[in-house]
């Protein structure tokens, strides 16, 4: 993401011993730091050192204890580190105190994720959503920042609204937030028009969701030949993409690829990306993609389920899709559909299962008697249905066909009833 030499970063995390027993392995310090390291690499950093402290509660002034602060300061000098990234959320006071004590730039997990999003948003909507989240994050951190707020593109954690917003006072920040909110509402209005246009021609939307780096975009590309960017970086895909897919029943559906979720996804992002997440909440079916090769697959799936419940999508029909089975030894026994986006294994089963569970536009056998002057209707049945028999009788074409309810209604005037 960044040009020139990689920034040298030191990672720090606190595991609170009083609450860790309630959360299990997913919140273990090592797993947490490993995920933070992947995020840092995605942002363009070279991780020099990792520091983990276990303590019962947070230190009010610096989150970590005074001994760890001194240890971090020594590591910053040793590695000539540019910044220290905390896996925990920092209060504005803690962030300022740590920067003073460490003589280095300090950011937290939320700021790191916001920075990655800022570098990857491509659409106007995506950029507005990121800016809104960053402005809301920045607002309580204005006091006491002084000249450090004038940086523009000065490294990880500084990308986003730009110098004009970073130098402004609270009044102008509030004004900008209101303006971005208004612009986003306009974008949502346009998205709503597009959605209504889509529903005018009944096509169900199937939304791909899952933990970041679960292989959603690779799966999306194989299903749709869309050419969406797909690589090993976390949050490689940010802006949603929608493409058409034909199911075995000849039903056409819209497949939507959305941003990946992550443990402790910042609430500012969940709120700011409301319009994008509407693609998930209004879908007829959710494909929950899980990295079957990950040792933390079950925990990651649980976090995605929690986010889906948080955005109101818990009542939507879901299909679990276990991806990357090519990385597993033998044949896995998994609850759901097992596929490999790389080899294409399991894709016929996946499409058939989508066809079976999709609660939209049911397929039934119907009998049509169409005048020969309406050859286009016969062609439509061949294109969008599964023709069983076809015969000509006088000036009519008799067609028995398995067809979707929407097409049956569309051609109802030629339907033979009884």
CA dist list (Å): 282 to 46, 207, 269, 279: 40, 9, 19, 6
Region 38-50 average pLDDT: 92
* Residue of 282, 270, 133, 273 lying closest to 196 (CA atoms): 282
- Choose the most confident range, by mean pLDDT, from 29-38, 59-68, 132-141, 359-368: 59-68
Lowest model confidence (mean pLDDT) among 46-50, 166-170, 206-210, 211-215: 166-170
Residues in Cβ contact with 134 at an 8 Å cutoff, skipping those fewer than 6 apart:
114, 118, 160, 161
Residue 228: predicted pLDDT: 55
- Could you write out the DSSP letters of every residue in 332-394? ---SSEE--TTT-TTHHHHHHHHHHH--SS-EEEEEEEEEGGGHHHHHHHHHHSEEEEEEEET
- Choose the most confident range, by mean pLDDT, from 148-157, 216-225, 239-248, 276-285: 216-225
Q: Which residue has the higher pLDDT, 311 or 392?
A: 392
Distance CA 56, CA 62 (A): 14
Helix (H) or strand (E) segment spanning residue 248: none
Q: Are 290 and 210 in contact (CB under 8 A)?
A: yes
Q: Which residue has the higher pLDDT, 326 or 267?
A: 326
- CATH code, residues 202-357: 3.40.50.300
- CATH code, residues 7-117: 3.40.50.11060
Distance CA 303, CA 19 (A): 17
Residue 313: predicted pLDDT: 86
3-state secondary structure of 156: coil
CATH 3.30.70 fits 363-414, yes or no: yes
- Judged on CB neighbours under 10 Å (0-12, 13-18, 19+), 61 is middle
pLDDT above 90 (res 63):
yes
Q: Which residues pair with 387 in a beta bridge?
A: 401
Q: How confident is the model at residue 151 (pLDDT cuts 50, 70, 90)?
A: very low
Q: Which residue has the higher pLDDT, 302 or 234?
A: 302
pLDDT digits (tens, 9 = 90+) for 270-283: 766 665 677 788 88
| Residues carrying CATH 3.30.70, the chain | 363-414
pLDDT digits (tens, 9 = 90+) for 285-315: 999 999 999 988 988 899 899 888 888 888 8
3-state secondary structure of 108: strand
Distance CA 375, CA 171 (A): 66
Q: Are 113 and 134 in contact (CB under 8 A)?
A: no
- Choose the most confident range, by mean pLDDT, from 311-315, 331-335, 365-369, 379-383: 365-369
Q: How confident is the model at residue 225 (pLDDT cuts 50, 70, 90)?
A: confident
Residue 276: predicted pLDDT: 63
| Residues carrying CATH 3.40.50.11060, the chain | 7-117
Residue 149: predicted pLDDT: 46
Task: Quote helix, strand, coil % in the chain, to nearest 5.
Answer: 45, 20, 30
pLDDT digits (tens, 9 = 90+) for 84-109: 999 999 999 999 999 999 999 999 99
224: left (phi over 0), alpha (psi -120 to 50) or beta: alpha
Lowest model confidence (mean pLDDT) among 14-23, 81-90, 356-365: 14-23
The CA radius of gyration of the chain, in Å to the nearest whole number, is 26
- Choose the most confident range, by mean pLDDT, from 7-21, 168-182, 378-392: 378-392
Mean pLDDT value across the chain = 82
pLDDT digits (tens, 9 = 90+) for 108-141: 998 998 888 888 777 787 788 888 888 888 887 7
Residue 133: predicted pLDDT: 85
Q: How confident is the model at residue 337 (pLDDT cuts 50, 70, 90)?
A: very high
| Residues carrying CATH 3.40.50.300, the chain | 202-357
């Amino acid at each position: 993401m960044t040009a020139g030499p990689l920034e040298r970063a030191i990672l720090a995390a606190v595991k609170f011993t009083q609450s860790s027993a309630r959360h299990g392995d997913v919140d273990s310090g090592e797993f947490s730091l490993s995920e933070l390291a992947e995020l840092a690499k995605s942002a363009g950093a070279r991780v020099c050192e990792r520091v983990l402290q276990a303590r019962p509660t947070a230190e009010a002034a610096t989150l970590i204890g005074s001994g760890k602060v001194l240890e971090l300061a020594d590591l910053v000098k040793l590695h000539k580190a540019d910044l220290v990234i905390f896996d925990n959320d920092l209060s504005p006071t803690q962030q300022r105190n740590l920067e003073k004590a460490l003589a280095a730039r300090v950011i937290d997990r939320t700021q790191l994720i916001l920075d990655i999003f800022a570098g990857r948003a491509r659409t106007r909507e995506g950029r507005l959503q990121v800016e809104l989240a960053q402005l809301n994050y920045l607002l309580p951190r204005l006091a006491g920042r002084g000249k450090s707020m004038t940086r523009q593109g000065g490294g990880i954690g500084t990308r986003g609204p730009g110098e004009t917003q970073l130098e402004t006072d609270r009044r102008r920040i509030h004004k900008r937030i209101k303006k971005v909110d208004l612009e986003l509402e306009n974008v949502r209005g346009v998205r709503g028009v597009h959605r209504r246009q889509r529903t005018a021609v009944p096509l169900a939307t199937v939304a791909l969701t899952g933990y970041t780096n679960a292989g959603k975009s690779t799966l999306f590309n194989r299903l749709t030949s869309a050419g969406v960017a797909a690589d090993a970086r976390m949050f490689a895909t940010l802006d949603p993409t929608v493409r058409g897919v034909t199911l075995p029943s000849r039903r056409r559906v819209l497949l939507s690829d959305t941003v990946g979720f992550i443990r402790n996804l910042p609430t500012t992002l969940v709120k700011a990306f409301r319009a994008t997440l509407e693609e998930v909440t209004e879908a007829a079916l959710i494909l929950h993609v899980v990295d079957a090769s990950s040792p933390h697959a079950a925990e990651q799936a649980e976090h995605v389920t929690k986010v889906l419940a948080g955005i109101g999508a818990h009542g939507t029909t879901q299909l679990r899709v276990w991806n990357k089975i090519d990385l597993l030894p033998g044949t896995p026994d998994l609850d759901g559909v097992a596929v490999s986006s790389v080899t294409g294994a399991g894709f016929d089963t996946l499409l058939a299962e989508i066809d079976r569970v999709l609660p939209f536009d049911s397929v039934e056998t119907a009998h049509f008697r169409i005048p020969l002057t309406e050859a286009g209707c016969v062609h439509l049945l061949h294109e969008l249905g599964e023709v069983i028999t076809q015969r000509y009788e006088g000036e009519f074409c008799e067609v028995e066909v398995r067809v979707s309810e929407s097409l049956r209604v569309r051609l109802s005037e030629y339907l033979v009833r009884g």
